[in-house]
Amino acid sequence: MIDRPRLVALPGYADRPRPDVHFCGHCGRPPLESDIQPSSRVCTRCGLGLIVAAPPDGAPTPADPFLLVDGQLAVCGVSRLAEELLMTKETDAVNGHIGDLLVPADVEIAGSDSLINQIIHAARGSGETHHVVLRPAREFGIRFWARISPCGPPKAALIVLADGRE
């Protein structure tokens, strides 16, 4: 018999996270195989959003309102449902500061620095999904449970909003 080396599992490969989930940055729907075109990243269903990807624990469903925020804290995408929820238009919100739309629900306790840090780390593509409570910038009785995670390309933070009833 020939003494051959045995195959062994490499450390870190067995516990690798699942692949990222792809979705449209406007309608939130995942692309169908027939929708994927090599020359374009624009969603063929709605024609308005780019196809981006996020970790499975942070990715939105088509029923989730969400925003995309870059590393400079500028809003770079607002989903159709987030437009309705936040009563704004994507064209009015894009390139504006995230603080003009959303702030921590209790600034005195959490501080806005922690929200900013979470967004910046996510926009760099690092970090994990964080759960926070936010409110609209000019409203005080409304709360949104949110999760912040990295997404891209291009690298950005994904903020998925929920009303907490789920």
Looking at the domain covering 56-162, what would its CATH class be?
A: alpha beta
Let me know: does 52 contact 60? Beta carbons within 8 Å: no
Predicted confidence band of residue 166 (pLDDT cuts 50, 70, 90): very low
User: Phi/psi of residue 67, each to 5°?
Assistant: -130, 155
What are the residue boundaries of the structural domains of the chain, listed by start? Answer: 56-162
- What is the pLDDT averaged over residues 141-150? 92
Q: What per-residue confidence (pLDDT) applies to 2? A: 64
Q: What per-residue confidence (pLDDT) applies to 100? A: 94
Instruction: Supply angle C-alpha 120, 144, 109, rounded to 5.
Output: 65
Q: What is the pTM of this model?
A: 0.82
- What is the pLDDT averaged over residues 54-68? 94
In angstroms, the first-to-last Cα distance of the chain is: 61
pLDDT tens by residue, 93-130: 999 999 999 999 876 555 556 888 999 999 998 778 99
Task: Tell me: pLDDT of 27 over 60.
Answer: yes
